[in-house]
Structure 1
Amino acid sequence: MSTVILAVVAVILCVLFRILNVNSEPTKPVVFCKDRNFFESILKMAPLLNEPYQPTRLWGFSGHVQTVVHSIIGRVRCPLPIGERCLVNLTDGSTLTYDVYEPLEAKNIQPEDDFTLAICPGIGNTSESVYIRTFVHHATHQGGYRCAVLNHVGALTSVQVTAPRLFTYGHTDDFDMMLKQILERWPNTRIIAVGFSLGGNLVTKYFGEQRIRPSALLGAISVCQGYCALEGTKWLLMWHNFRRFYLYFMTENMKSIILRHRKVLLSEDVRKKHKLNERDIFSAATLPELDEAYTRRVHNFGSVRELYQWSSSVNYLKDIRSPMIFINAKDDPLVPEPMLSPVRNLASMKKQVLHLELAHGGHLGFYEGGLLYPNPVTWLDRALVALTAGIIQTSLKT
């Protein structure tokens, strides 16, 4: 009997070791960058790019654990920065909100040192999301930057929608409005955009669109985006690597947002105008099904494919003219490695573009240090502040 128990324990340990990937070793980020001068300028301010990323020893080498810990638990000993909520009434009747956080020494900031990080969170996330709060705390305290965080329309539980629309994967006008509001209030500030996941797609698309952008916008950093919604949904619809589970939770989150604002989003007039069927919306099992039943209809797209093509930053990469840095983890369960080829190619062909690939980190995790309990500040938080300084130094040279 004891032999059987030992065998079972051995099998369980083997499975755990395989899932947790504990045999892996820390490695340095892999850099894709054609522009040597740009890379060296960034490296001066971000020497951690030449250092191995040290994930939390017992579980940090698993992309799944990094992702789940990030999404369920968040950051360790997360501080709560105090900010100011700003509301803007848009011409379509929507109420846009964003939160502003000043650095500790805000009163002593000289005009030449006035920089603002314009932050765009991931799908259904806001300034109240834990990973946003900890990054804001680190950026304001260690970097000395003002932070402005876009709250995606409909995502805040405390703010009701005032028009029959939510945020989408490619709607960049809200981000543009936040930038205009920032510059109206602080006309001398210079802005660096930072986007996470869906927010990374929005920021990248914004920089590649045929539109007028503020001259104060110096560059951008994108974290863990998937670049192409069409390809991304193909991968997420697969059961391999548990991707279908992640898709399920994302779908349910979006459905809960629609349900929360049901009176406005699914009023009788709205249902008739866009030919919406509530049963189809709330029975949708995947995001493509939900986008067919709701999103593409409300935003007047002929098909989900058309919506995804319009939304995907991959279709706007060639027209980017500003410094940009992209960060992805190769063990990200939501963004598999084959989806990174477009940005690898971009960084290999275009000046002032840098792509960083880490072997580990999961989706927006990047916990580091410790055996079981990670450091309060993640590798990503540290890297973003340093990379922001690198973009600023690059802009000052030109």
Structure 2
Amino acid sequence: MPQVLSNYLPPLFFRSGHLATMYCGLFRRVHGVIQTRERLTLSDGDFLDLDWSKSSNPTKKLVILLHGLEGDGQRPYITGSAKLFNQNGFDACAVNYRGCSGEPNISYRSYHSGATEDLNEVIHHILSTKAYSEIYLKGFSLGGNLALKYLGEGNAVPKEIKGAVAISVPCSLKDSCDQLLSSENILYARRFKKHLIAKLRQKQPLFPGLIKDADIKAIKTLKDFDDIYTSKAHDFKDALDYYAKCSSLQFLPHISIPSLIINAKDDSFLGQDCYPIAESEKNKKLYLEMPKYGGHVGFWGKKNITYTEQQALKFFNRH
């Protein structure tokens, strides 16, 4: 499908990718969303938590919200999306990945950019316990990669899944990692690494033979974290093997339901390989919008409704 022309033009202050990223990540607040938590026991005995918010009227439409690296179901980009969808006739289910709901998960493994087996369990749990006839996926960053990989990797996608929107997607995980390791993104990388190591230390008493002090001390970069923990805990050879197997870029040609990717051109987390122009031109179900501005999961909008929240609602209502 040809690229979607973007008319997004924020105020001057938000035409800085870094300011857009930091404002929406650190300063945005969303009020008025009432969430009810449901704990889902997974097939391997571990758990994850689902945060539900409802439309004011009974509905058959649901959006599943997938957060980014070290996010959770209460991040403003999640609750902002839930609020707008709830106001427009959709229920919302915000998925907290393993270990992301404020309580450590119980297994050695955790979550990662390609853990579609957990998303698949969430979807089938919803289908077996609820009566939604239309289900949509909306993912942010890591969650966007997860949604696109799920749709394109050969799963038997249920007929109830009608569309997807993916925001600020690291379609090439290696390319995105390279960007995060650059000096421009050092503050973001340090913040991510700090939170990831803190969770690893929480898990260490449960798995002292697998998580050792020497290993934690050896983690200097995000790639080190993926070499030392992510790959080992999730059966990849190393970080590069993980990036190669879990990047959504290779799965985009096989997506068969309407899917929209919105990646800002000023997103410092994304390199050239994260803008799948050729793939979108060859797949009539894949739409790509590349606004000049927006940052990483930024996209400031009036009345505390971001541009991508508006675009996702329009896209789902059309499809």
Question: TM-score band (shorter)?
Answer: over 0.9
What amino acid maps onto 2:62 in structure 1?
T
Q: Is the 8 A contact 1:99 1:127 kept in 2?
A: yes
- Structure 2 gaps of 5+ residues are none
SS at match of 2:85: helix
How big is each residue's C-alpha offset from its partner over 1:13-58, in whole Å with a ceiling of 9 and x where there is no partner? xxxxxxxxxxxxxxxxxxxx339xxx7xxxxxxxxx77x323133x
Corresponding residue number in structure 1 for 2:208 = 268
Q: Is the 8 A contact 1:117 1:145 kept in 2?
A: yes
Corresponding residue number in structure 1 for 2:199 = 257
CA offset at residue 282 of structure 1? 4.2
More helix by share: 1
Corresponding residue number in structure 1 for 2:8 = 53
CA offset at residue 228 of structure 1? 0.8
Could you tell me how far apart the structure 2 residues matched to 1:95 and 1:206 are?
Answer: 20
Corresponding residue number in structure 2 for 1:311 = 246
How big is each residue's C-alpha offset from its partner over 1:246-302, in whole Å with a ceiling of 9 and x where there is no partner? 2222211211222233333xx235x1xxxx433222441211101111111111222
Could you tell me how far apart the structure 1 residues matched to 2:199 and 2:154 are?
Answer: 31
Q: Is the 8 A contact 1:155 1:257 kept in 2?
A: no
1:95 alignment partner, one of 47, 55, 70: 47
Matched, 1:381 2:309: yes
Corresponding residue number in structure 1 for 2:131 = 187
Corresponding residue number in structure 2 for 1:284 = 219
Could you tell me how far apart the structure 2 residues matched to 1:358 and 1:163 are?
Answer: 40
Aligned residues: 319
SS at match of 1:329: coil
1:66 alignment partner, one of 20, 28, 40: 20
Could you tell me how far apart the structure 2 residues matched to 1:389 and 1:286 are?
Answer: 41
Corresponding residue number in structure 2 for 1:236 = 180
Q: Is the 8 A contact 2:255 2:286 kept in 1?
A: no
What amino acid maps onto 2:246 in structure 1?
S
Matched, 1:164 2:108: yes
SS at match of 1:316: helix
What TM-score do you get using the length of structure 1 for normalisation? 0.76
Q: Is the 8 A contact 2:66 2:140 kept in 1?
A: yes
Which structure is larger by alpha-carbon Rg, 1 or 2?
1
CA offset at residue 188 of structure 1? 4.1
How big is each residue's C-alpha offset from its partner over 1:331-359, in whole Å with a ceiling of 9 and x where there is no partner? 111114x2344x21111111122101111
Matched, 1:345 2:291: no
Could you tell me how far apart the structure 1 residues matched to 2:208 and 2:181 are?
Answer: 32
Corresponding residue number in structure 1 for 2:79 = 133
CA offset at residue 149 of structure 1? 1.0
Corresponding residue number in structure 1 for 2:229 = 294
2:162 alignment partner, one of 194, 201, 218: 218
What amino acid maps onto 1:173 in structure 2?
E
Corresponding residue number in structure 2 for 1:120 = 66
Could you tell me how far apart the structure 2 residues matched to 1:278 and 1:214 are?
Answer: 44
Q: Is the 8 A contact 1:80 1:134 kept in 2?
A: no
What amino acid maps onto 1:380 in structure 2?
T
Could you tell me how far apart the structure 2 residues matched to 1:136 and 1:260 are?
Answer: 30
Corresponding residue number in structure 1 for 2:2 = 34
Corresponding residue number in structure 2 for 1:390 = 318
Q: Is the 8 A contact 2:144 2:167 kept in 1?
A: yes
Distance change in 2, residues 1:377/1:34 (3 Å) = closer
Between stretches 166-175 and 315-324, larger displacement belongs to 315-324
What TM-score do you get using the length of structure 2 for normalisation? 0.94
Could you tell me how far apart the structure 1 residues matched to 2:267 and 2:208 are?
Answer: 41
Could you tell me how far apart the structure 2 residues matched to 1:293 and 1:312 are?
Answer: 19
Q: Is the 8 A contact 1:154 1:261 kept in 2?
A: no
Q: Is the 8 A contact 1:80 1:133 kept in 2?
A: no
Could you tell me how far apart the structure 1 residues matched to 2:44 and 2:145 are?
Answer: 23
CA offset at residue 187 of structure 1? 3.1
CA offset at residue 176 of structure 1? 1.0
Could you tell me how far apart the structure 2 residues matched to 1:348 and 1:256 are?
Answer: 42
